[in-house]
Structure 1
């Protein structure tokens, strides 16, 4: 299949991101006991935490996906496949967030939940990098908005992601709260603008 415009890839991806980010709120259950509503709402803090972190993470992946595709002028079949893998990972994140919230709420299985959540982020980072590396291979799918040196600079920043998420996952396997703090810190880091220099 010859390389084609990226407009349909971006439109489909935007739809998946929108659905995934919306599904995150479904894990927050309305308290059944409204006689003690304030207490019941406060008890939902694990769900609020998982929702907030995950919402910002999905939004972050969407924003950087948008920036990435500003430089990708065409999509071939391998790029479509890699993008599909990334979207599959994004679609899985609401489940990982729900597991994390349940473990924090129950006080059991927190380490496993953080490892599942962090592992999901690591895999997503690998797929994200695979899209960019395939697109910049020989500069074949990139446009004139970025030169090879700029593409390498973006690669260096993107490649940090899976390694840093893996470090957070490893820390979370020992101390779950520490892993979550690393994930939250990475949200701040990766929301900073992506520069091509």
Structure 2
């Protein structure tokens, strides 16, 4: 556990017992992020797939080498107090405001989409979301650093049209592969594309 963003948030590991809390926040972030970008019913479609998300969480968190963290607001933080004044606040451990997870890939669905998969064991940034109320505070960068080490070769998938995400990852050395694919199921009609750093992708 540790303070990030000048003491404004606390980052703590995600455990196997955190499935409900993780998926609750995940669904909230998906709705906030994509209801306006994909379509207004996007979040509702994802919520209907809750059991599937719980199953995915169990698989991800049990994967050897997985790294996963929650972020929580620190009520003791003030804009002028900084880290020295941030100690002692009572954290609401039931109310995370962000999360991130990375794991060795490729995932099963990546082997079925027609693009050459990355080499087995290549680290994937699987999830990185924060609530909209935290945007611009540095929390996303702190969670990114918690699950991906500096200059660690890695890849990720992002929803085409989410320029905020694409630019965020671009500043951290990721390049867009430029080969979008159609999403299926609850993700349709979105399209997704792969970004990578420190890798030579198969052709």
With normalisation by structure 1, the TM-score equals 0.29
Which of the pair is proportionally richer in strand? 2
Which of the pair is proportionally richer in helix? 1
Q: Indicate the structure whose relative CO is greater, using CA pairs within 8 Å and at least 6 residues apart.
A: 1
Select the structure of larger CA radius of gyration.
1
